[in-house]
Each structure stands twice: as structure tokens, then as C-alpha cells.
Homo-oligomer: A and B are copies of this chain.
Amino acid sequence: MKIGQLSKATGTHIETIRYYERIGLMPPPARTPSGYRSYADPHRDRLRFIRHSRDLGFTIEEIRSLLDLSDHPDRDCSDADRIASLHLEQVEQKITQLENLREELSRIVGRCRGGMAGDCRVIEALADHSHCEHPHDGAVRL
């Protein structure tokens, strides 16, 4: 399987596959005489594992640990569960943060009555934190 086929089989950009190889997440595949990467089924499965984990929001480093466990079926697997639980907690935290954000934003949005910026309530609310209910500490990435 050449890289383009692997790309299609897994829905992963070619550049991303090469990137995963560069950072050691994917093992370097065999090469054809002309230097093309040549993948087999285990590569594809590994890449699917990676993509699925990424889709679930795991970081590269978490995936590295998970793959390491997957590579050593004899090891104790409680680490895997620990990583996943921790991750779930983070997702829940993020949801809470975003729900707070949504509240503040919905208080701000829709208050513009189509006038001029000078007395726009939206601008005003952004300028003055004291309109807010919560301290919303720290920028929340979307």
C-alpha cells in the first residue's frame, strides 16, 4: 500500500501520516526500490487507532502511551484506563467552562439595537467586566 492509498483508507492527510512518522508515532515503513513508502495492514490498523484516539481528543503523548500498551499485550493495562478517565475528566471540565461561556455570551448577544457603536451594549459589555456574573478566569480555547 502506498501512502496515498493509506491516506484514503484511513481518511488521513498524507502530510499527517508523514508527520506521525517523523514524531515516532508511526514506525518507518518499508520502501520500494524508488524510495516510496510501502505500508502493510498493521500500519493501517495502527493509524486507525491513532486517528480514532485523536478524534476522541487524546493528545499525541497520551496516544503514545496507549500505543505502547497496545504494543505490549502482557503489560498491566490499568494505565490505559487511567489515561482515559483523566481525559474524560478534562472533557467534562471543558464542557463546564464552555457552558459558563455560553451563558455570558448569550447575555451579551442580541442586546444591540442596531444603533451606533458608541452606545452598543455589546461593545460596552466587552469593555466592562463588571457586567459579568462569573469571573471566567483564563482564556478558553475553542
Residues of A in contact with B (beta carbons under 8 Å apart): 45, 48-49, 52-57, 66, 69-70, 72-78, 80-81, 84-85, 87-88, 90-92, 94-95, 98-99, 101-102, 104-106, 108-112, 114-120, 122-123, 126-129, 136-142
Contacts and interface: CB of A to CB of B under 8 A. Distances in A.
B88 A109 contact: yes
- 10 smallest CB-CB distances across A and B, nearest first, come from A73-B118, A81-B112, A77-B120, A77-B117, A80-B122, A69-B117, A54-B139, A88-B105, A84-B109, A55-B136
Each complex incorporates copies of this chain amounting to 2
Given A49-B126, A142-B57, A70 B102 contact: no
Contact of A55 (B87, B102, B137): B137
Contact of A123 (B74, B80, B140): B80
B116 A87 contact: no
Contacts of A57: 101, 105, 139-142
A118 to B, nearest CB: 3
